[in-house]
Structure 1
Amino acid sequence: MKQTQRGFAIFELLIAVFVIVIIAVAGFFFVKNKPANKDDGKTTSISTTSSETNTKTDSAKIKHLGVNLDYYDPATKKAGDFLFTNAEVFANQIFMNYGYLIPASPDYPAKRNPQPTFFLPLGTKVHSLVDGKVFRVPKLYSDDYSVQVQTEGSELIFEAEHVVNVKVKEGDTVKAGDIIAEVSPFGSQSGSGLGLFEIGILKGGNPPSHICPFDYLDDSIKDDLLKKITAFQKSWEEYKGNSNIYDESQVVIPGCVSRDPIEG
């Protein structure tokens, strides 16, 4: 009887050891083949989607240039909000194209302009480019601000940069054309009375990149605005008596001399 009990005890011990081994092996393979956690998967998915998305298919579109641009009127020396002047302005341009090669200086290397740059009279009102929600209003190195607006369902950030007297805050809903600020005095040169303003489209990434904004014009303004940009630059060259200010051979779309993303 004692031998039988001892036999059962040994058998039960072997069964227990076998079960423990099976559980240990199963646990090892589970841990080894465990999928990435949800946060990792989500991050990877967002990163992949962002890098593969062709932003030209993004539904967000610019419905306002940010300032008013029109055909040049010699009587007023204005083209919308722009004032034609003989005062000194950077690169001899009051409308600098996206992608324009800014010459090197003693302090900075040459670089491509990541945002169309405008010089306009101080006090000029700045308007929202798009319908959307104010994403951020960061203060810039230049002691002015950037109003960044994002439309619903879009990965793109639309910037009205180098502005002062900001009239909106983060979270506000805006419509294209709403007055949101004024042009900044930053960059005002030689008592010209002109301030600086830039528009941009920022595409996410690390680091983020700017892209040509005139590829994202809403159909309601596209044809008219592109014609006005071309006419504006021609009128400016005629006013300045210099037909070489703009190199038309480089233009890929009025307002841009490149479609390559520019970091910054």
Structure 2
Amino acid sequence: MKSFYHRFLVSVVLTSAVVVSVSLSNVNAASNAGGKCTKAGVTAKSGKSTLKCTKVGSKLVWVAQKSATSGSSGTQPTSQRDIPAIIQNWGFNFADYSAATGKAGDMLIKGVTPPTFTGPNAATDNAMYRLLIGPIGAVVQGMVEPQYGFYLPLGTSVISMVDGTVCDVPKLYSNDYSVRVAPPGMSCMQGGAYILYEHEHILNPTVKVGDKVTAGQKIGIVGDYNPYWKAKGLGVLETGVFFSKKGSNAPWHACLSSFLDPSKKTALLATLSSAFAAWEAELGDNTLYDEAKMSPVGCYTTAEMTDSNNKNTSNNGG
């Protein structure tokens, strides 16, 4: 009998050791989002993050999961690394391009012709206005564009990219508005917050400072201040990620595509690529967007950028 219990206890100890070893192996393998995993649906902890084994394309990789309480700590960021990746959409109804409708969600592509110019600055102006979607990091007239520019049919609804609190609704130089939303957990202060998800050139804003918003909620319609695009039946929406960096008085921006919700990032970037390709096909020019130089899609740079947010610092025809 003693021999039986001895063998039983040894078996339990060895089995426990194997279980602990396997568990530690899983956690170690999951130490970085994007690392390989072996069984879809399995979750593991990595620091304060929960990772889930997810099939992306043909591979199984660890993907960071959004927490119900995810957001900002409320403290001033020291760099863009402190910005939470919580963006759920592009700021409007944007879907993969459909040849049947000629649209990518609410974005009209088929039949659209960009404004054209003559005169001494024609080459620069025509190049700038050929982009139906202005990418982040594009350099035009010596300036780096820190925000996306989208040209959408007049009256198109603008929706909040994130859950959060509206902390600033300033009237812009263009006689329209910006709706700037702070992430969950961050309080508003005079003039905004340390981190703001920006929806610029909005008419008829439906929210005010202090309002809680959810991603996908309508917050206004696209602005119509640009006369050249307006003549084509299109309005302007610019979106960006602003942050106030500790130790700096300058306004800073970061590549918006870097802060898409991990669970939606692949689909959102695929939609953007689809629209790039459709617009290039519409104009018969496959050189408009160099995706080989974008990482992630839509951004020619992931460096921190600063600008003064006025009519002289927008390269998106704004």
Amino acid at match of 2:164: G
In 1: Cα distance, 2:242 partner to 2:84 partner: 15
On the 8 A contact 1:128/1:180 being kept in 2, the answer is yes
- Pairwise CA distance, 1:234: 1.2
Residue number among 276, 279, 283 corresponding to 1:236 in the alignment: 279
- What residue is the counterpart of 1:87 in the other structure? 113
- Pairwise CA distance, 1:86: 3.3
1:144-172 deviation per Cα after TM superposition (whole angstroms, max 9, x unaligned): 00001102334411110011010000101
Residue number among 242, 249, 253 corresponding to 1:202 in the alignment: 242
Answering whether residue 195 of structure 2 is matched by residue 156 of structure 1, we say yes
- Pairwise CA distance, 1:224: 0.4
1:182-233 deviation per Cα after TM superposition (whole angstroms, max 9, x unaligned): 0000224161000010111101041111110110011232110111111211
In 2: Cα distance, 1:173 partner to 1:86 partner: 36
In 1: Cα distance, 2:162 partner to 2:155 partner: 21
Answering whether residue 93 of structure 2 is matched by residue 68 of structure 1, we say yes
- Pairwise CA distance, 1:60: 5.0
Aligned CA-pair RMSD:
1.7
In 2: Cα distance, 1:60 partner to 1:245 partner: 28
On the 8 A contact 1:126/1:180 being kept in 2, the answer is yes
- Pairwise CA distance, 1:180: 0.3
On the 8 A contact 2:85/2:258 being kept in 1, the answer is no
Amino acid at match of 2:83: D
Relative to structure 1, is the Cα distance of residues 235 and 60 closer, same or farther in structure 2, using a 3 angstrom cutoff?
A: closer
Q: Which runs of 5+ in 1 are unaligned?
A: 1-48, 105-109
- Pairwise CA distance, 1:59: 3.3
On the 8 A contact 1:56/1:216 being kept in 2, the answer is no
> What pairs with 1:18-29 in structure 2 (closer than 5 Å)?
none
- What residue is the counterpart of 1:38 in the other structure? none
On the 8 A contact 2:77/2:243 being kept in 1, the answer is no
TM-score by length of 2: 0.62
Answering whether residue 202 of structure 2 is matched by residue 177 of structure 1, we say no
In 1: Cα distance, 2:84 partner to 2:172 partner: 29
In 2: Cα distance, 1:195 partner to 1:164 partner: 10
- What residue is the counterpart of 1:27 in the other structure? none
- What residue is the counterpart of 2:153 in the other structure? 121
Q: Which runs of 5+ in 2 are unaligned?
A: 1-74, 116-127, 187-193, 308-318
Amino acid at match of 1:121: P
> What pairs with 1:1-264 in structure 2 (closer than 5 Å)?
50=76, 52=78, 54-59=79-84, 61-84=86-109, 85-89=111-115, 90-102=128-140, 104=141, 110-154=142-186, 155-189=194-228, 191-205=231-245, 206-264=249-307
**Stretch deviating more after TM superposition (140-149 or 232-241):** 232-241
In 2: Cα distance, 1:248 partner to 1:211 partner: 18
On the 8 A contact 1:60/1:151 being kept in 2, the answer is no
SS at match of 2:96: strand
- What residue is the counterpart of 2:69 in the other structure? none
On the 8 A contact 2:97/2:271 being kept in 1, the answer is no
In 2: Cα distance, 1:259 partner to 1:60 partner: 14
1:69-95 deviation per Cα after TM superposition (whole angstroms, max 9, x unaligned): 112222221111111133224431111
SS at match of 1:189: helix
On the 8 A contact 1:188/1:194 being kept in 2, the answer is no
1:19-42 deviation per Cα after TM superposition (whole angstroms, max 9, x unaligned): xxxxxxxxxxxxxxxxxxxxxxxx
In 2: Cα distance, 1:80 partner to 1:236 partner: 14
Relative to structure 1, is the Cα distance of residues 60 and 173 closer, same or farther in structure 2, using a 3 angstrom cutoff?
A: farther
Large movers: runs of 4+ above 4 Å: none
- Pairwise CA distance, 1:136: 0.7
SS at match of 1:68: coil
SS at match of 2:97: strand
Relative to structure 1, is the Cα distance of residues 179 and 238 closer, same or farther in structure 2, using a 3 angstrom cutoff?
A: same
